[in-house]
Amino acid sequence: MTPAGLAVNQLVTFGHGAAAKTESSINNDMQFIVSLVAFSYASLALAGACTGNGDSFSQECVTLYNGENCPSNGVEASYKPTCAGNCYVYGFNSLNVQGSYFYGTNCHAYSDSNCQNEIGSSGNIVGAGAGKCFNFQGGQSMKCYYNC
């Protein structure tokens, strides 16, 4: 027993008046804050940016290469595709196409700069880990779709 006959495990009040908080409510607040921070970090991982080299598992990503077979030293650009299927204009010779574990990415490559003369397609890539490489020699534009 402590002075005044209080047991150690009884509530202790911090502060004064209406703003006073008990040790229990402070612990609940801290648990909420820790949960909120953990959820925020998990959300960042799910909504993370395309890394540019196809190694970001579980994220949609299209990486463009200037050489055949997606050489690691030949990265030109990368982006996260959407369902809008916009015409992306950039010269490339190979693409690494990556879906997520739940949804697929499908790319169509074109030999012209306005997405009209198709030279090939990746097919729908779902859950491919680091993605799959496709050679499209002389590609000038593409349309890639994710989660459509």
**Residue 59, SS3 per DSSP:** coil
Residue 16's pLDDT is 53
Considering the chain, tell me which residue range(s) the CATH 2.60.20.10 domain(s) occupy.
61-146
The CATH homologous superfamily for domain 61-146 is Crystallins (2.60.20.10)
Per-residue pLDDT of the chain (148 residues; tens, 9 = 90+): 444 544 444 444 445 555 555 666 666 555 644 443 333 333 333 333 475 444 455 688 999 999 999 998 988 988 899 999 899 999 999 999 999 888 999 999 999 999 999 999 999 998 757 789 999 999 999 999 999 9
Contacts of 120 (CB under 8 A, 6+ apart): 108, 109, 134, 136
Global pTM reads 0.62
pLDDT in tens, 51-75: 544 445 568 899 999 999 999 898 8
Q: Give me the amino acid identity at 48.
A: G
